[in-house]
Amino acid sequence: MLKHNSQFDNEEIKKTVKESYTKIAEKSETKNESSCCLPVPQAGQPDNKTGKSSCCSDEPDYASFAVDYAKQKGYNPDADLGLGCGVPTEFAQIKEGDTVIDLGSGAGNDVFIARAIAGDSGRVIGVDFTEAMIDKARKNNDTLGFKNVEFRMGDIENLPVEDNMADVTISNCVLNLVPDKTKAFSEIYRTLKPGGHFSVSDIVINGELPRKIRIAAELYAGCIGGAIDKDDYLKIINDTGFINVTVQKEREIKIPDSIILDYIDADELKALKASGTNILSVTVFAEKP
């Protein structure tokens, strides 16, 4: 694992993310309850008492972002590793018969929910670059027996999908992990049909995070370090050529001080809070002309 204070390039980032999510894939959702991108306790609920991160037992706890999927049509608990930060399928305007691509599909949670909406006449393709996740997703689909679902091994910066294929693209707390977000949105644009659209849930920053946090490999894999400024994120989407760019949902993510203090000192934390910088979960929609 990379050290907290080291600068790293895109390939090192990808290696770190892949290693972290391989470990997560080997755990159940229950065991992942102190792992990457899992639910922050809501008001009135007890704090997470599970201790060290189950996906990387010798590393600090990751931030917790996910929402409850259990009431979604098509939900399969075996496919839910608790790694999302929203429910993009709620806003994706998927229609029966649509071809849907899920970027960073993990064990298949959003794929199976999208399939329930697209129906037997639709098609859903999950793309992930972690072999263990692809294996887990394919096993889940073998159990479910869906013939119009497939999982492809591939990099979001170079999707294994032909041009103008998808009606809808979705993604859930994954694009923030991609080092080259301009390339990622260009690939979404390339693979969407003209008139197609995407709905992605992701983590962005309102303000600027301290450099020590931005370059921490563990926080990158844990969905914080890779997040960029919200305005910059939306600018990339607009500059790619998308239209009707809309933030469909936004909520603030509260990161426990105990996690942040593993990377910055108390004075730096005080300055961060005074700066007004905050971490947001957003769900963003945009169309390809």
What are the tens digits of pLDDT across the range 52-72?
333 333 333 444 556 778 788
pTM recorded for the entire structure: 0.82
Residue 185 in tokens: 């949105």
Return the closest-CA partner of residue 146 out of 122, 172, 170: 122
Give me the residue spans of the domains in the chain.
Answer: 10-287
Low-confidence ranges of the chain (pLDDT < 50): 1-7, 29-63
| pLDDT given at position 29 | 46
Superfamily of segment(s) 10-287: Vaccinia Virus protein VP39 (3.40.50.150)
| pLDDT given at position 224 | 66
